[in-house]
Amino acid sequence: MTQSGVPPPSSLPAERTILAWTRTSFAFLVNGVLLTIKDWHGAKGPASLIPPTLAGAAALCCFLITLQRQRTLGQRPLPTRITARTSVYTVGIAVLVLIVVTAVTQLV
């Protein structure tokens, strides 16, 4: 067990999966920071804070998915169903929503 109470990955595919989810959550976080910096001096009211907040929430959600996937892939024997279909759909929808909300707030 690691300090966070999550078992370490025991195979290279599990480690790659965890790194991919962590990289995705980091990308969301960087996106939120860049959106915040972009509108830092020219803020157009509270609506300009919606995309960075949404990106931060997506980053947190993706990180929680990372922890859940790490826990699942660390189990021995592996569960019979280990696909991340719902998680992938959730992240995909979050990306689309973030794109649309950012585009709308830039046009308004």
**DSSP annotation string for the chain:** --TTS-PPP-SHHHHHHHHHHHHHHHHHHHHHHHHHHHTSSS--SGGGGHHHHHHHHHHHHHHHHHHHHHHHHT-SSPPS----HHHHHHHHHHHHHHHHHHHHHHH-
Residue 3 is assigned to a structural domain of this protein = no
Q: How does residue 93 score in pLDDT terms, banded at 50, 70 and 90? A: very high
Residue 6 is assigned to a structural domain of this protein = no
Identify the residue with better confidence: 7 or 87.
87
Q: Which domain holds residue 67?
A: 12-107
Residue 2 is assigned to a structural domain of this protein = no
If one counts the domains in the chain, the total is: 1
Q: Is the pLDDT of residue 4 over 70?
A: no
pLDDT of residue 6: 57
Look at residues 70, 76, 92 and name the one whose alpha carbon lies nearest to residue 19: 70
Q: Is the pLDDT of residue 63 over 80?
A: yes
Residue 85 is assigned to a structural domain of this protein = yes
Q: What is the pTM of this model?
A: 0.76
Residue 4 is assigned to a structural domain of this protein = no
Residue 101 is assigned to a structural domain of this protein = yes
Residue 70 is assigned to a structural domain of this protein = yes
Residue 82 is assigned to a structural domain of this protein = yes
